[in-house]
Amino acid sequence: MAYMTDRKRAAGLGSAKTGTAHFWAMKVSSVALLVLVPLFIFTFGAALGGTYEEILAYYSRPFPAIVAALTLAIGFKHFNDGVQTLIEDYVHGMANKIAIIVMTCISYAAAAVGIFAIAKLAL
């Protein structure tokens, strides 16, 4: 059973065959964030209001540093995938490609800066 019209079949305008992989990537990252965000809030809440030395000592322990780094990395990857879907749906032409590249660079750069900051605290 073919769902493509003859015109789409002739022009090659069928499925891009990436929707399922993107869907599963979003589902896996959202389940990971479902676990990580409460852990992050629990670990970050314990550090709130402390002095710089207390925060430094707290994040030099492995568990809070790993939870914070994983939350940042997976959160920004999830953000990037979601924004990419929005851009693909609402922006067309060359602006589509430029917007996806810019948002990917921004989200990876923000994740890298956050993970670097946590690494500086942890080490």
- Tell me if the pTM is above 0.85: no
pLDDT one-digit tens code per residue, 28-63: 999 999 999 999 999 999 889 999 999 999 999 999
Residue 42: partners with Cβ closer than 8 Å, 6 or more residues away? none
Name the CATH topology of 19-122. Answer: 3 helical TM bundles of succinate and fumarate reductases (1.20.1300)
pLDDT one-digit tens code per residue, 70-94: 999 999 999 999 999 999 999 999 9
Q: For residue 7, is pLDDT > 90?
A: no
Q: Are 118 and 72 in contact (CB under 8 A)?
A: yes
Cα–Cα distances in angstroms (integers) from residue 10 to residues 4, 7, 13, 14, in the given order: 10, 5, 8, 9
Q: What are the two backbone dihedrals, phi and then psi, of residue 20, each rounded to the nearest 5 degrees?
A: -65, -45
